[in-house]
Amino acid sequence: MARRASSDRDRGNGVDVRALRAGITHRKQAEGAIRELDILRYVASLAAAAAHEINNPLTVVVGYVQLLAAEVDAAERGRIDEMLKAVSRIQEIVTRIARVTRVELTENVLYLPRDA
């Protein structure tokens, strides 16, 4: 028993080894959480950049499809409407991707913002 007590405290220095271990463990956990948060921030930044790059040519496509819609007859208008619906769906997805621009920590749970 005396031997165990001396292993918990450094001889004569008053250092509590268990407290020291707990402090080191906590520090490593905090460093790991910071690394994970940095990675999530990088991914969020990458998603925002990708959304911007997708949105630029998509705007051109929307413009040309709308111009084309004005030049076609009623029979072809159905196809144009399908294209516009598909492009609109892509725009919705890009908008959601662009919203992933911040990462928050709440009650030890990482989450990304939801649709507004």
Q: Is the pTM of this model over 0.85?
A: no
Q: Which residues contact 81 (CB under 8 A, 6 or more apart)?
A: 69
Is the Cβ–Cβ distance between 48 and 98 less than 8 Å?
yes
Is the Cβ–Cβ distance between 87 and 116 less than 8 Å?
no
User: Of all residues in the chain, what percent are helix, strand and coil, respectively (each to 5)?
Assistant: 75, 5, 15
What's the pLDDT at 86? 94
112 closest CA partner among 84, 98, 13:
98
Residuewise pLDDT in 10s, the chain (116 residues): 445 544 545 455 667 778 878 888 888 888 888 888 888 888 888 888 898 899 999 999 999 999 998 899 988 899 999 999 999 999 999 988 888 765 554 555 455 455 54
Is the Cβ–Cβ distance between 99 and 113 less than 8 Å?
yes
